[in-house]
């Protein structure tokens, strides 16, 4: 295979990997645990690409421009697209898994031990709350605890008119395995309702309560305050 | 307001994100796999490799299964290694036994599976046992194949001498860059195609319908196996994905997901094309599918 052409492709993907980590867009694509690996492989690919281009200068086989382009372009299209278009975080339409009130992320996702007895409960994230509420202590024991979390709003007919769900995508490896997790939020009508629209990113404050949803008691958040926020640099829960 | 146009644009944006994510996440593993396979090609002599493998049919397959402990990459990284092993003269059935067992029988995947299912270790144990069994059984069946040369893809079998060793006067470094580069780009092209297909399928299918089928002890197994094939994620973390469905799906279907996913998915299908013939991929995939489903069903019936 034509060394220079191959090396150009390799150099492009190396540069792309480094770029994605450098400008932070990698956060929309993969779990942060992979950032270092992707950066390292980007650097190695660049080194291999540059070496190949230098070594290929003395190459004897000549490829015509058309066959070179025919070889280059299909391989380079994704890289070119990613250089030009910034990937966006997954929308709320992706993987609608709306069984609100029974949203669980599986007990062992608690990568950090979430203290059940912390005084400042407002530090807990959405996935912390879901782990706790599905954990050993009955949800009722968390009644009254203060919540402050951010996420995007999803609404569903099953929940009823005074409710929305505060949601996030959770990923293990990359965006391809993303699932939506969330908790129902009950609000009094009139409470800044202009902010409550689907897909809006908000930060909410409230307290934990238990309501009957779909016939069974479920933990919910009673809304006390809500404000609109910009989507965060890393929109996924981990 | 969700106009049809805005929904379409959102879907395209999500598709682009998913596709890019699959590429970004897999490229490092392909690099690692091609680097290792190039080192194998250049620095391990063919004779040394053949001597290393036990002569006995049953033991040789077993040794291939355990060889996976040395290569803790997911299935993507192992494909170039398996290809080079076959080109060096290793019997195809041994290379395949390695390819099928390495994605699960390695320290990283064992660790993540037991971590994810620490409340239910039998799931992790089932994964290990049945993955090993499938790799062993398929390796054994293939060892009786009358024409093992059919296994390798035409491209891989018609390798020119220059693809497998240094040219006269060429330094090892130069040979490494040359061979690794061309292997990598070939894998990359296959990856692009596989990731594109996986993304399109995920965009088309709806999740809600799929979740409703989780209870049925028979259908759930088929559904989870299809899901594993479509979702195309590495075996290093798929345990956490299976965990998320633990409450909605039967045990047997979760185990079937965990054993079939590392063997085959849309993304790796095209990566396998660089090493194996279509006919062969079909045979191995069908066997793997059949065995995964049987084991999943057995767990649901007897577990």
Cα(A181)–Cα(A56) distance, integer angstroms:
51
Q: What is the pLDDT of residues B65-103, one digit of tens each?
A: 888 787 776 777 888 888 888 887 788 888 889 999 989
pLDDT at residue number B154: 64
Q: What is the pLDDT of residues B96-107, one digit of tens each?
A: 899 999 899 888
Asked if B201 is an interface residue toward chain A (Cβ–Cβ < 8 A), one would say no
CB-CB under 8 Å, A9 with B21: no
Q: Does residue B45 have a pLDDT over 80? A: no
Q: What is the pLDDT of residues A20-70, one digit of tens each?
A: 999 999 999 998 888 999 999 999 999 999 999 998 887 766 777 888 888
Measure CB to CB from residue B21 to each of A6, A30, A75 and give the nearest one. Answer: A30
Asked if B299 is an interface residue toward chain A (Cβ–Cβ < 8 A), one would say no
Size of interface A-B (CB pairs under 8 A): 157
Residues of chain B with pLDDT > 90, as a percent, come to: 24
Residue A181's nearest CA partner among A89, A87, A92, A115 is: A92
pLDDT at residue number A108: 34
What does R_g of chain B's alpha carbons equal in angstroms? 20
Of the listed ranges B20-24, B129-133, B272-276, the least confidently predicted one is B272-276
Contacts of B231 (CB under 8 A, 6+ apart): A176, A177, B198, B202, B238, B241, B261, B265
How many Å lie between the alpha carbon of A154 and the closest alpha carbon of chain B?
13
Higher pLDDT, B210 or A235: A235
Measure CB to CB from residue A41 to each of B28, B189, B232 and give the nearest one. Answer: B28
Q: Does residue A113 have a pLDDT over 70? A: no
Asked if A24 is an interface residue toward chain B (Cβ–Cβ < 8 A), one would say no
Q: What is the pLDDT of residues A193-204, one digit of tens each?
A: 778 888 889 999
Measure CB to CB from residue A179 to each of B174, B198, B244 and give the nearest one. Answer: B244
Asked if B211 is an interface residue toward chain A (Cβ–Cβ < 8 A), one would say yes
Q: Provide mean pLDDT across the span B113-122.
A: 85
pLDDT at residue number A117: 63
Count, residues in chain B: 303
pLDDT at residue number A106: 40
Q: What is the largest CA-CA distance in chain A?
A: 77
pLDDT at residue number B1: 52
Q: What is the pLDDT of residues A89-109, one digit of tens each?
A: 888 777 654 333 334 444 334
Higher pLDDT, A174 or B31: B31
Q: Does residue A112 have a pLDDT over 50? A: no
Q: Provide mean pLDDT across the span B224-231.
A: 88
Asked whether B236 and B25 are in contact (CB, 8 A), the reply is no
Task: Give the global pTM.
Answer: 0.81
Q: Provide mean pLDDT across the span A3-23.
A: 93
Measure CB to CB from residue B237 to each of A88, A98, A173 and give the nearest one. Answer: A173
In sequence order, what DSSP letters do the residues of B60-129 get, joined into one string? Answer: HHHHHHHHGGG--S-HHHHHHHHHHHHHTT--HHHHHHHHHHTTTSSHHHHHHHHHHTTT-HHHHHHHHH
How many Å lie between the alpha carbon of B224 and the closest alpha carbon of chain A?
14
DSSP conformational letter for B1 = -
Residue A3: list chain B partners with CB under 8 A.
178, 181
Measure CB to CB from residue A176 to each of B11, B22, B117 and give the nearest one. Answer: B22
How many Å lie between the alpha carbon of B14 and the closest alpha carbon of chain A?
5
With helix as H, strand as E and coil as C, how does B11-69 read?
HHHHHHHHHHHHHHHHHHHHHHHHHHHHHHHHHCCHHHHHHHCCCCHHHHHHHHHHHHH
Q: Does residue B207 have a pLDDT over 80? A: no
Q: Give the model's confidence band at B133: pLDDT under 50 very low, under 70 low, under 90 confident, else very high.
A: very high
Cα(B21)–Cα(A238) distance, integer angstroms:
15
Residue A26: list chain B partners with CB under 8 A.
24
pLDDT at residue number A95: 64
Q: What is the pLDDT of residues B140-178, one digit of tens each?
A: 998 888 777 776 766 666 665 556 676 767 788 888 998
Q: Give the model's confidence band at A116: pLDDT under 50 very low, under 70 low, under 90 confident, else very high.
A: low
Q: Does residue B253 have a pLDDT over 90? A: yes
How many Å lie between the alpha carbon of B90 and the closest alpha carbon of chain A?
25
Q: Provide mean pLDDT across the span B286-299.
A: 94
Asked if B34 is an interface residue toward chain A (Cβ–Cβ < 8 A), one would say no
Q: Does residue B256 have a pLDDT over 90? A: yes
Cα(B70)–Cα(B67) distance, integer angstroms:
6
Residue B244's nearest CA partner among A229, A73, A179 is: A179
Measure CB to CB from residue B180 to each of A48, A93, A96 and give the nearest one. Answer: A48
CB-CB under 8 Å, B11 with A90: no
Q: Does residue A162 have a pLDDT over 80? A: yes
CB-CB under 8 Å, B233 with A174: yes
Token representation of residue B150:
């059919």
Give the other-Cβ count within 10 Å of A30's Cβ.
24
pLDDT at residue number B221: 93
Cα(B212)–Cα(A129) distance, integer angstroms:
26
Cα(A213)–Cα(A100) distance, integer angstroms:
8
CB-CB under 8 Å, A82 with B182: no
In sequence order, what DSSP letters do the residues of A69-102 get, joined into one string? Answer: HHHHHHHHHHHHHHHHSPP-PPPTTTT----TT-
CB-CB under 8 Å, B232 with A95: no
């Amino acid at each position: 295979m034509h060394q220079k052409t191959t090396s150009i492709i390799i150099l492009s993907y190396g540069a792309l990997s480094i770029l994605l980590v450098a400008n932070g867009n990698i956060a929309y694509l993969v779990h942060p645990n992979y950032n270092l690996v992707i950066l390292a492989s980007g650097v190695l690919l660049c080194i291999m690409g540059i070496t190949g281009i230098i070594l290929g200068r003395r190459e004897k086989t000549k490829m015509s421009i058309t066959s070179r382009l025919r070889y280059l372009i299909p391989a380079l299209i994704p890289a070119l697209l990613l250089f030009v278009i910034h990937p966006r975080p997954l929308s709320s339409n992706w993987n609608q898994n709306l069984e609100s009130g029974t949203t669980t992320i599986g007990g062992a996702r608690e990568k950090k031990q979430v203290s059940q007895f912390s005084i400042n409960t407002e530090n807990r994230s959405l996935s912390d709350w879901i782990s706790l509420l599905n954990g050993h202590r009955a949800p009722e024991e968390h009644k009254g605890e203060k919540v402050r979390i951010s996420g995007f709003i999803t609404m569903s007919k099953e929940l009823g008119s005074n409710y929305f769900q505060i949601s996030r995508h959770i990923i293990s490896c990359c965006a391809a395995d993303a699932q939506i997790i969330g908790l129902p939020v009950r609000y009094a009508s009139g409470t800044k309702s202009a902010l409550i629209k689907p897909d809006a990113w908000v930060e909410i404050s409230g307290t934990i309560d238990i309501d009957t949803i779909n016939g069974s008691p479920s933990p919910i958040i009673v809304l006390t305050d809500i404000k609109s926020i910009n989507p965060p640099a890393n929109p996924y829960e981990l | 307001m969700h106009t049809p146009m805005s929904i379409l644009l959102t879907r395209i944006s999500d598709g682009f994100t998913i596709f890019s994510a699959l590429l970004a996440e897999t490229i490092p593993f392909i690099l690692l796999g091609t680097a290792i396979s190039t080192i194998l090609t250049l620095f391990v002599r063919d004779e040394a490799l053949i001597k290393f493998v036990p002569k006995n049919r049953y033991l040789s397959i077993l040794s291939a299964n355990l060889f996976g402990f040395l290569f803790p990459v997911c299935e993507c990284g192992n494909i170039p290694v398996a290809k080079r092993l076959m080109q060096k003269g290793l019997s195809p059935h041994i290379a395949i036994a390695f390819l099928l067992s390495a994605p699960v029988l390695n320290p990283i995947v064992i660790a993540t599976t037991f971590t994810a299912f620490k409340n239910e270790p039998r799931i992790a144990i089932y994964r290990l046992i049945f993955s090993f069994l499938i790799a062993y059984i398929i390796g054994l069946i293939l060892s009786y194949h009358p024409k093992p040369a059919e296994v390798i893809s035409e491209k891989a079998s018609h390798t020119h001498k220059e693809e497998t060793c240094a040219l006269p006067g060429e330094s090892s470094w130069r040979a490494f860059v040359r061979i690794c580069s061309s292997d990598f780009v070939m894998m990359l092209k296959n990856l692009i195609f596989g990731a594109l297909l996986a993304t399109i399928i995920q965009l088309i299918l709806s999740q809600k319908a799929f979740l409703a089928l989780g209870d049925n002890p028979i259908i759930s197994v088929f559904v989870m196996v299809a899901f594993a094939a479509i979702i195309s994620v590495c075996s290093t973390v798929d345990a956490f994905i299976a965990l998320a469905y633990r409450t909605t799906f039967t045990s047997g279907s979760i185990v079937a997901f965990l054993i079939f996913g590392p063997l085959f998915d849309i993304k790796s299908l095209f990566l396998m094309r660089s090493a194996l013939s279509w006919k062969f991929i079909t045979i191995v995939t069908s066997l793997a599918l059949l065995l995964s489903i049987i084991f999943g069903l057995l767990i649901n019936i007897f577990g």
